[in-house]
Amino acid sequence: MDNYPVDSGDLRGRGTKGVISVVGGVGVLVVSALFASPILAGIIGGGLALLGLSGLFGKTKTDRTTGGVVLIAGGIGLASAFLHGPFHFLLTLGGVALLGYGAWNIFKFIKGLRNRA
């Protein structure tokens, strides 16, 4: 039982991680549903791959990291056009994992708000 006041920086971090993870999880699930069509998977995956390649040549480390993640997502999209089953499962699992992580952080955020009162 940790009923001690929570640091405001930690509280902001939990809230931010929670909201971003939930939104990201919903986004991954939507993209996974769109990848059900091989044509859409090829178009969206190719677009993401090109966007990720352009991000790899960014000036900051964050731009390059984001570009790499988007490139991988595009590659999964392109691969799911040909091998739908395993990649659809991985995307769905990733979306559900992000939703769970976000829900946990939002729970800890709300618990921290109550401890601050």
Report the C-alpha dihedral over residues 54, 58, 64, 68, rounded to 10 degrees.
Answer: 0
Task: Let me know if residue 72 belongs to a domain.
Answer: yes
CB burial string 13-28: b at 16+ within 10 A, e below: ebbebbeebbebbeeb
Range of the domain at 96: 14-112
Q: What integer pLDDT is reported at residue 99 of this predicted model? A: 92
Task: Let me know if residue 97 belongs to a domain.
Answer: yes
Q: CB of 31 within 8 A of CB of 70?
A: no
Q: What integer pLDDT is reported at residue 59 of this predicted model? A: 83
- pLDDT > 60? residue 21: yes
Q: What angle is formed at CA 47 by the lines to CA 46 and CA 51, rounded to 5 degrees?
A: 115
Q: What integer pLDDT is reported at residue 35 of this predicted model? A: 80
Q: What integer pLDDT is reported at residue 94 of this predicted model? A: 86
Task: Let me know if residue 32 belongs to a domain.
Answer: yes
Task: Let me know if residue 7 belongs to a domain.
Answer: no
Enter the tokens of residue 89. 């499962």
Q: What integer pLDDT is reported at residue 117 of this predicted model? A: 63
- pLDDT > 70? residue 5: no
Enter the tokens of residue 95. 């979306």
pTM: 0.67
Task: Let me know if residue 87 belongs to a domain.
Answer: yes
Q: How far is CA 90 from CA 34, 42, 49, 73, in A?
A: 14, 17, 18, 11
pLDDT tens for 38-86 read: 888 888 888 888 988 988 888 888 778 888 888 888 888 888 888 877 8
Task: Let me know if residue 9 belongs to a domain.
Answer: no
Task: Let me know if residue 44 belongs to a domain.
Answer: yes
Q: What angle is formed at CA 31 by the lines to CA 35 and CA 84, rounded to 5 degrees?
A: 30
Query: How many domains does the chain fold into?
Result: 1
Task: Let me know if residue 35 belongs to a domain.
Answer: yes
Closest CA to 49 of 26, 28, 21, 78: 78
